[in-house]
Amino acid sequence: MFRRARLDPVHASWLIPFSLVVLLAGCARQSGGDADPPETAPVAENGRRPTPPPDQTIPTTTPPTPGPPPTTEAIPVFTALIGTITEQELGTSWRPDCPVPVEDLRRLDLAYWDYQGAPAVGAVIVHADQAEKVVRVFAALFDARFPIESLRPIAEFGADDDASMAANNTSGFNCREIDGRPGVWSQHAFGGAIDINPLVNPWVRGSLVDPPGGEPYVDRSADVPGLIRAGDAVTSAFAEIGWFWGGDWISTVDYQHFSHNGR
């Protein structure tokens, strides 16, 4: 679904000698009997042609060596599909008191590069108003070959944000409140936020790290696949669509978090 084929040109160098032979043969046929007879090699007194000296060689015609056969090379290309989603598909990640109705959400099926360096297809849920912008972000990440370990709707984790983060799963919509702030909706509840590789890009506030397994990745100089840094392909792609990065926050730093309004 995300491949195209390119046909390499046939290596035709071996055809040239054959064409030259045909051309010369045609010229000889056109001259017919009017052509001068070929010179006769000198004959020795004993009636035999002389043997060439040892340092001379008799020219021979070597059959041409054909080039390699035509080949095709599979080239991955980015693909995306924007579609509606049902309440059943959202599972426990949506409920009637959520701040956004189901019909305002979109499922994006997107190509991405996994941690093994292979192309894959996953899905993220966002608000319809942000769908095309988010597609542009993932197209840029695909072109940059930025690795994403997992791209699955959080409904597949039972809407459990902790489980999704522990699996280093990139996700979007989840109708939940902000941790520690009852009654205050997270931007994920509006479909206006995405968390990228949350295990290796944790939320940090002082000595607190979430998810706890992300503590080894607080050091942002670590050479780890999927790490997000200022000015890289990820932050640049989101900045292009007007989204904000939680890694720029002051008292609390949320390296995984991108939102349309900076919250």
| Interval 86-94 mean pLDDT | 97
Higher-pLDDT residue of 165 and 72 is: 165
Look at residue 21 in the predicted model and tell me its pLDDT.
32
The pLDDT tens digits for 184-205 are: 999 999 999 999 999 999 999 9
What are the DSSP calls for the chain, one per residue?
A: --EEEEEPPP--TTHHHHHHHHHHHHHHHHHGGGSPPPPPPP--TTSSPPPPPTT------PPPPP-PPP-EEEEE---EEEE---HHHHGGG--TTSSS-GGGEEEEEEEEE-TTS-EEEEEEEEEGGGHHHHHHHHHHHHHTT-B-SEE--GGGGTT-HHHHHHTTEEB-----EETTEEEEE-GGGGT-EEE-STTTS-EEETTEEESGGGGGG-STTS--TT---TTSHHHHHHHHTT-EEGGG-SSSEETTEEESS--
Look at residue 63 in the predicted model and tell me its pLDDT.
56
Asked if the model's pLDDT at residue 123 lies above 50, the reply is yes
| Interval 161-172 mean pLDDT | 97
Asked if the model's pLDDT at residue 116 lies above 70, the reply is yes
Higher-pLDDT residue of 88 and 71 is: 88
Look at residue 183 in the predicted model and tell me its pLDDT.
85
